[in-house]
């Protein structure tokens, strides 16, 4: 057993974490065993993932699968399969399957899930679950099949020889630290040993990475300062405020590696000091009776916090080599015995507060004003609140005025979508947070419709860039001069260049979405028979085939474009998501004439590509310019497009990003295909209403978008040669 002397205050730390995890069922009902979001019984993907980790942590603590918490979780996971919403195994179904194998492997829905998973084997001998990373999808599949074998429910679906061969291949194909550790453990468990080459190369690589990173895994070279702060026990909330997502992934990666290397320790004793050091470093960040407070401060987002606590407990179980209840139960019992009964608020006081809330009269001056501009399922309205003094409800002189709230904006929609935007706002680097509209926590959640409502300040002094270009000619020159600089500030984020990209980011941002958009666009056109002649149908079919062939060529050549400097990325940058207002007077010492804000953060990424934003905005501006009968030399939109292109040419040169302009063209193709896909939604509505004429016009507009996208793809392929 590893030396426990290094894990300071083990009992109180473990006890506090377990108690808080048990409270999560009630404190975060939207993430742990959440109710369905709709009539079909669908729950959020985040809730499925968090609940799966929650159950794994309770098993690591020492709960048996027949105890109430885990029996309830098993029933929650055991949805029929296949069903209306899930006919293939995606990430949600994989988490369900993994949970069911751990909690009730004999459940009737396990076998059809395993059978469907095997049917998702690709012609290239990978398994396709999420498509963004087939190597990881395959590793996950082998992990689940190995678990099914361990539970005795594999039923000959995959031969043990095949499992061993797959595990061997995964060691070669896996790149990320945590995935390599899993691949090595699977190989070790399925075969009984590593090959000498795997030990010398891959296992030694993991140990060397930890040494180079100061004891941790998953830490990028440009984040070594955080590793040093952990070693010096000087980590603070402020230090990681701008890097919380990266820090979370580092600590999750470290926990996964510890969990997967520990079972190999008897055969490979050189692992022990490295794993012990990693656990001691992470434990030193939060240990003690205030562990929960420390971790909540480091990870204020409940989703992040619950993942971190769960994986920490699982890695600790592997590290100690025994169920955690051995160390945690006594502390928990003592604490519960000593805990004083909480003072319950008198019923009369509670009722008085409710009466006071009902006493204040809140209404709207007029019906909400529709402001919805985007393509998401959320809605945006402007409201003008009216709050009256109940003593004098008819006398306007007694109205209660809230400063800066005579006009407000309410954004509402599915809880997951609102939470995603809220989470992305929290992830913004502090240096650029003022570039975005402030997004507070939801003010109200409808528990029946599962919709969240957020009240925000009204940017009524701002116009969208779309409106400003068409209606405010007096600021056109300032837009040309200042918009590019504003966007540069956003893309630079905290100002620290990061010179490498995630594996598969090009596929995730560009190639996979384009493949899906092409499929949806031409499915709409061809399956609904919206083209009136065989020649046009053949043309559409050939266009679809050519687009997919172009994307296929780029998939094969993705390594030529994949390494580029990453940047903060809005992810949906068009003229309706950029707000602008003219400053009344220039700030002292500043030449700025305009103030900008970005809205709609649902697709924001800290580790994205500035080229994607630039390409999307240029396509949007071109579509805005096209209907105008204005000569190019007199068109402010043309001037703005040239200024943006010039600004980012310099930006790319400074960052030595030689493929930036090529990725801009790729982004323009992606944006046009996305616009074409968006058109088909309106076309489908027309078809449901038996209005075929508008549906046909949509088909031809979508074909035109696809043709333009193809021209950009041809240019990208030509550059690659």
Q: What is the CATH number of the domain that holds 427?
A: 3.30.200
- Are residues 611 and 499 part of one domain? yes
Q: Which pLDDT does position 587 carry in this prediction?
A: 46
> Quick one: which of 28, 81, 35, 77 has its CA closest to 55?
77
Q: Which pLDDT does position 697 carry in this prediction?
A: 94
The enclosing domain of 600 has a CATH number of: 3.90.1200
- Are residues 207 and 120 part of one domain? yes
Contact indicator for 62, 325 with CB cutoff of 8 Å: yes
Q: Which neighbouring-strand residues pair with 464?
A: 579
Query: Which of helix, strand or coil describes residue 268?
Result: coil
Q: Which neighbouring-strand residues pair with 65?
A: none
- Alpha carbon distance 536, 457 (integer Å): 50
Q: Which of 297, 316, 338 is the last residue of a domain?
A: 338
Before 142, cis peptide (omega within 30)? no
Q: Which pLDDT does position 372 carry in this prediction?
A: 52
Q: How far is CA 524 from CA 296, 542, 678, 679, 701, in A?
A: 47, 15, 11, 10, 12
- Alpha carbon distance 291, 276 (integer Å): 20
- pLDDT digit string (tens) for 539-552? 999 999 999 999 99
- Are residues 416 and 310 part of one domain? no
Q: How far is CA 571 from CA 33, 429, 491, 578, 612, in A?
A: 31, 16, 11, 12, 7
Domain that holds residue 480: 463-720
Contact indicator for 308, 299 with CB cutoff of 8 Å: yes
- Alpha carbon distance 227, 221 (integer Å): 10
Helix (H) or strand (E) holding 582: strand 578-582
> Quick one: which of 7, 1, 11 has its CA closest to 329?
11
In this structure, the number of other CB atoms found within 10 A of the CB of residue 302 comes to 19
- Are residues 287 and 220 part of one domain? yes
- Are residues 408 and 280 part of one domain? no
- pLDDT digit string (tens) for 376-426? 556 888 888 888 777 776 666 666 777 767 788 888 888 878 888 888 888
Q: How far is CA 141 from CA 106, 113, 137, 194, in A?
A: 19, 11, 6, 20
Contact indicator for 114, 145 with CB cutoff of 8 Å: yes
> What number of CA atoms fall less than 13 Å from residue 234's CA on the CB side?
7
Q: Which of 338, 363, 383 is the last residue of a domain?
A: 338
> Quick one: which of 600, 621, 573, 571 has its CA closest to 459?
600
- Are residues 362 and 314 part of one domain? no
Put residue 156 in one of left, alpha, beta given phi > 0 → left and psi -120 to 50 → alpha.
left
The pTM assigned to this predicted structure is: 0.58
Q: Which pLDDT does position 346 carry in this prediction?
A: 63
How far is residue 241 CA from its own chain's centroid? 18
The enclosing domain of 120 has a CATH number of: 1.50.10
| Tokens (6 digits) for 504 | 């598969």
DSSP classification of residue 235: -
Contact indicator for 205, 180 with CB cutoff of 8 Å: yes
- Alpha carbon distance 47, 53 (integer Å): 10
- Are residues 582 and 443 part of one domain? no
- Are residues 637 and 610 part of one domain? yes
Helix (H) or strand (E) holding 606: strand 605-608
- Alpha carbon distance 64, 70 (integer Å): 8
Contact indicator for 352, 362 with CB cutoff of 8 Å: no
The count of structural domains within the chain is: 3
> Quick one: which of 717, 621, 552, 17 has its CA closest to 314?
17
DSSP classification of residue 199: I
- Alpha carbon distance 476, 640 (integer Å): 8
Q: Which neighbouring-strand residues pair with 698?
A: none
Q: Which pLDDT does position 149 carry in this prediction?
A: 96
- Are residues 352 and 316 part of one domain? no
- Are residues 517 and 447 part of one domain? no
- Alpha carbon distance 169, 188 (integer Å): 13
Q: Which pLDDT does position 377 carry in this prediction?
A: 58
Helix (H) or strand (E) holding 597: strand 594-598
- Are residues 662 and 695 part of one domain? yes
- Are residues 75 and 127 part of one domain? yes
Q: Which of 318, 338, 358 is the last residue of a domain?
A: 338
- Alpha carbon distance 15, 470 (integer Å): 62
Query: Which of helix, strand or coil describes residue 11?
Result: helix
Residue ranges in the chain whose pLDDT is less than 50: 1-5, 341, 374-375, 587-589
């Amino acid at each position: 057993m590893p030396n426990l002397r290094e894990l300071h205050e083990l009992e109180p730390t473990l006890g506090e974490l377990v108690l808080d995890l048990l409270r999560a069922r009630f404190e975060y009902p939207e993430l742990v065993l959440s109710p369905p979001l709709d009539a079909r019984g669908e729950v959020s993907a985040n809730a499925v993932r968090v609940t799966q980790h929650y159950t794994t942590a309770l098993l690591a603590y020492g709960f048996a699968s027949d105890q109430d918490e885990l029996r309830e979780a098993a029933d929650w996971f055991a949805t029929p399969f296949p069903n209306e919403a899930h006919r293939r195994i995606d990430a949600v179904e994989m988490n369900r399957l993994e949970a069911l194998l751990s909690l009730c492997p004999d459940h009737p829905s396990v076998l059809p899930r395993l059978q469907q998973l095997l049917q998702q084997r690709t012609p290239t001998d990978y398994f396709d679950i999420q498509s963004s990373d087939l190597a990881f999808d395959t590793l996950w599949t082998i992990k689940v099949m190995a678990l099914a074998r361990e539970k005795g429910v594999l039923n000959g679906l995959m031969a043990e020889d095949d499992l061993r061969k797959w595990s061997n291949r995964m060691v070669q194909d896996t790149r990320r630290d945590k995935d390599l550790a899993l691949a090595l453990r699977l190989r070790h468990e399925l075969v009984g040993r590593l090959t000498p080459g795997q030990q010398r190369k891959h296992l030694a690589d993991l140990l060397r990475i930890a040494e180079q990173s100061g004891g941790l895994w998953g830490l990028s070279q440009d984040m070594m300062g955080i590793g040093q702060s952990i070693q010096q026990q000087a980590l603070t909330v402020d230090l990681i405020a701008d890097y919380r997502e990266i820090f979370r992934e580092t600590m999750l990666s470290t926990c996964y590696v510890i969990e997967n290397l520990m079972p190999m320790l008897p055969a490979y004793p050189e692992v022990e000091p490295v794993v012990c050091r990693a656990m001691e470093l992470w434990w030193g960040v939060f240990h003690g009776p205030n562990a929960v407070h420390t971790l909540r401060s480091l990870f204020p987002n409940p989703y992040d916090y619950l993942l971190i606590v769960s994986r920490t407990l699982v890695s600790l179980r592997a590290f100690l080599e025994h169920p955690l209840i051995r160390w945690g139960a006594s502390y928990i019992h003592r604490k519960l015995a000593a805990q004083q009964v909480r003072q319950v608020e008198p019923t009369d006081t509670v009722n008085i507060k409710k009466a006071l809330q009902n006493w204040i009269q809140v209404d709207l001056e007029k019906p909400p004003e529709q402001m919805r501009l985007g393509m998401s399922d959320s809605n945006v309205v402007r409201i003008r609140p009216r709050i009256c003094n109940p003593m004098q409800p008819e006398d306007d002189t007694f109205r209660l005025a809230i400063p800066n709230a005579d006009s407000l904006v309410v954004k509402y929609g599915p809880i997951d979508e609102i939470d995603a935007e809220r989470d992305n706002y929290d992830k913004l680097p502090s240096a650029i947070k003022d570039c975005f509209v402030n997004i507070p926590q939801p003010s109200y959640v409808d528990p029946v419709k599962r919709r969240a409502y957020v009240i925000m300040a009204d940017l009524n002094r701002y116009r969208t860039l779309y409106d400003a270009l068409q209606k405010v000619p007096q600021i056109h020159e300032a837009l040309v001069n200042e918009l590019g600089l504003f966007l540069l500030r956003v893309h630079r984020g905290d100002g620290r260049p990061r010179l490498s990209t995630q594996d598969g980011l090009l596929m995730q941002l560009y190639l996979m979405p384009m493949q899906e958009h092409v499929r949806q666009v031409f499915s709409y056109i061809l399956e609904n028979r919206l083209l009136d002649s065989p020649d046009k149908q053949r043309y559409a079919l050939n266009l679809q085939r050519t687009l997919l062939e172009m994307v296929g060529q780029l998939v094969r050549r993705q390594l030529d474009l994949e390494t580029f400097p990453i940047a903060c990325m809005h992810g949906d940058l068009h003229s309706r998501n950029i707000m602008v207002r003219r400053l009344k007077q220039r700030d002292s010492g500043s030449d700025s004439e305009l103030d900008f804000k970005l809205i709609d953060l649902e697709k924001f990424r800290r580790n994205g590509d500035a080229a994607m934003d630039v390409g999307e905005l240029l396509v949007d501006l071109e579509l805005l310019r096209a209907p105008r009968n204005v000569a190019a030399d007199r068109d402010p939109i043309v001037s703005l497009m040239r200024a943006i292109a010039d600004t980012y040419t310099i930006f790319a040169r400074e960052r030595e990003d030689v493929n930036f302009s090529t990725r801009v063209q790729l982004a323009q193709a992606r944006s046009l295909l996305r616009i074409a896909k968006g058109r088909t939604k309106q076309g489908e509505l027309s078809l449901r209403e038996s209005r075929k004429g508008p549906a046909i016009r949509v088909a031809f507009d979508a074909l035109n978008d696809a043709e333009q996208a193809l021209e950009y793809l041809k240019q990208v392929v030509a550059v690659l040669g």
